[in-house]
Structure 1
């Protein structure tokens, strides 16, 4: 396993060390900011009409209204938390200490997000979903980082696309805090794949006007369908 040197006068090693420290700082700061969102959500009232309660049949129904949007986010965070938990439990061949630190920080953020939504939703939360990562070779760096890139880019596009469906401004503020964290994840994963390039904000996700993609729930659920064993419907999300 490659290890970063912390001593010596080699500029290259110093630069790598500083880069790693900076990445860790922005990831940990992002997690703290997201945790503060708990205060916002707890302050939101529950005076809205009772949303459709998620179904208990073979198909998992995310529900309607803002609760449907929150369950939608909860479903995606479940997927990401499960993925990074597996990544750290079975590190790919050649994973460096720096990479493990970054991926562990991301895992911890996703677990915070997942548990936050579960607690906030209470009895209106959907069940725990069963992931299907059978197509991902967790022993290979390219496969793991490629999947991470897909999940993070999809997560950012999902939050952006769901923002317009949120009616409660408290929930909207919360979503904005979390999507900013997901965007940081997406950027650092892209940098791990292609270091020191402009791909951290590539034109495949950021358009010429400087805006990131915003994808509706139906398209996102179709994109991640292969990675979840449960059948999930978001037909009423935001309605």
Structure 2
């Protein structure tokens, strides 16, 4: 099933999500393992350009642009899993153990989203709008295919943008997040077909055993099938 072929954030009614949303920025950053000094670094690298000169949501440049890029993808993943878990078919299409783990995945993605929002502070892009009409949330196969596609794309996105990050603090954080995304990707791959978590479509097993990576331009092009808010990534670093 091809997921990426077509071109407001609701609240989560769960204790974990409510806790993350209610945290003050300083408390949240401490909880996420980042000192408040990182916030100053984000602010210091804010883009100086007039965003009114750009059409759509402007990601920015340098490290701030890359982190806003990651924030946009985390918004997409978080909203997808919010829709999965809140759908009435969730309890009938998935076992109790699967429901527990998929709900944990949702909580992870919400935490990732809220982390970027809090850390970027005034430099964060606004909440994006989405269209998931191509996904049938009432069927197991459609949900799993979409989850696999989103997680694979997310891992390749972090891998493709990591070398563009200049600040080592941000690079460490990106490494911690992509490792979680890779765990999600492996889980959904095995739910669809056991023992496929290292499929040759995502891991280059014939040469170096490394995960493939994708450029921000490629990833945003694919994600635009579901993100309806125009995104301007013109000033993202390319080297």
Q: Please give the per-residue CA displacement for 1:15-64, whole angstroms capped at 9, x wherever unaligned.
A: xxxxxxxxxxxxxxxxxxxx878333633343845424683675111110
TM-score, scaled relative to structure 2: 0.79
| 4+ long deviations beyond 2 Å | 35-50, 52-58, 91-94
Q: Which residue of 2 aligns with 1:218?
A: 217
TM-score, scaled relative to structure 1: 0.79
Residues 151, 53 of structure 1: alpha-carbon distance in 2 compared, 3 angstrom cutoff: farther
Between 138-147 and 227-236, report the one with greater CA deviation: 227-236
| Corresponding residue to 1:51 among 32, 37, 47 | 47
Residue segments in structure 1 that go unaligned for 5+ positions in a row: 1-34
> CA RMSD, aligned part only?
2.0
- Written as runs of structure 1 = structure 2, the 5 A alignment for 1:30-179 is 38-40=32-34, 42-44=36-38, 45-46=40-41, 48-52=44-48, 55=51, 59-90=56-87, 91-92=89-90, 93-179=92-178
Deviation of the 1:161 alpha carbon: 0.5
Residue segments in structure 2 that go unaligned for 5+ positions in a row: 1-28
Distance in 2, Cα, partners of 1:54 & 1:190: 43
* Preserved CA contact (<8 Å) 1:118 1:125: yes
How many pairs are equivalent?
A: 203
Q: Which residue of 1 aligns with 2:8?
A: none
